[in-house]
Structure 1
Amino acid sequence: MNTIPTHVALIMDGNGRWGKKRGLTRSEGHYAGTKAMEEIIDASTEQGVKILTLYAFSTENWKRPKDEVNYLMSLPIKFFNQKLPEFMRRNIKILISGDIEGLPKKTKKAVEKAMEKTRNNTGLIVNFALNYSSRSEILQAIYRILIDAKKNEISMDDLNEETFEKYLYTRGLPDPDIVIRTGGEKRVSNFLMWQSSESRLCFVDELFPDFSKELYIKAIKDQADDAITWEECAG
């Protein structure tokens, strides 16, 4: 019997390639990706997923062309301005995992507003991994532990996995039950490396704008079936 995972993590890969395949710009592909993302959020609510972590922008993405980066940084502003009233009505809570201080001022303001406005909501948690790097997350956790140990606020003798996790961006959230990556690549790309050590990995060939609600539901329902093969997961 299939069960719905508590926490789904999704690497939304393939937006730029989707645009180029259709003679569009990469930015137009990213816009199409936001529409697909809205469907995934809707499906998560409908299926009873409690936490959805979306890999929205990695620290490596700063190396992309300036115009593309500027567009990607504008998307959270437009997205939250449009969707925040709806998220309030639907009791959706917004979290951000990543280096918020490294975001452009207007983008930072938009995501902080979204978190503040929805902080008391108790429905689906949508956690955006934004300006995120798993290696950097682990390094900053170690740095903060050393600082707190120097201040005698933590004893190194008491350091364990539970304590360490309190210093991660995802503190307070359970580890993902499944990590899904669209776009055909079979790698985790510096995403939730500590948190996904026991997660089910699912790689699908569809570029993210083509990753339909139906494919998403199939992936999260099949994740509990130990008999499933990689090929079945990939559709």
Structure 2
Amino acid sequence: MSDDLVISDLAAGYGHQSVLHDLTLRAQAGRLTAIIGPNGHGKTTLLRAISGLIAVRTGEIRLGADRISGLPAEAVVARGIVHVPQGDLLFPDMTVLENLRMGAFLPAAARQEKTVLEEVYTLLPKLRDRENQIARTLSGGERRMVGIGRGLMASGRVLMLDEPSLGLAPIVIEQIYEVIAGLRRAGRSILLVEENAMRAAAIADQVHLLDHGTLNWSGTGAELSGRPELLETYLGV
């Protein structure tokens, strides 16, 4: 059974404000799908709608055979959607290990916690060295890695990353994207939201340009590189 994430004719927003309009896309299982576009045009809203953090007004979201639109956020997580939001959002006075273990709170994830923790430490070896360190004392890049590691601990079917490079120094961004590229090579299903279009396009299997809540363009990273008018008009590149 396919674990594609399929979004059909989606509309969502906040209060009386509509942000997403008739949005349709497919994020294929085992692939990295990137959502790019200017700030304030609906990228984070899309992830929140998928996660059940905001209501879907019309349309449908399915993960494989499961319809997840309309479910509460905790039920969406239980179906296999893992959302790593912008910023750190760690428990600042807990250790790295305690923060990671919070990702395995569902029974299915808890049963394989030790195995998955070892996989996280293999992927992010610095976290093993820091496992007893209090989260608030970590560097920005280390906190971001803990956030990604905590998401992986949930053993989900789709990992959604919202602006993982936000606010980080260039050398740290390189490290974070090496991790994401490793996840892609391992066949993880990833939905990546990123303002840095070329950074995302370099590792994505499919790229979607979101403009004013609708998809303006879709293609591969190489195809995006060959569309300078899109890069200049929408992304300031």
TM-score relative to the length of structure 1:
0.35
Whose strand fraction is larger, Structure 1's or Structure 2's?
2
Whose helix fraction is larger, Structure 1's or Structure 2's?
1
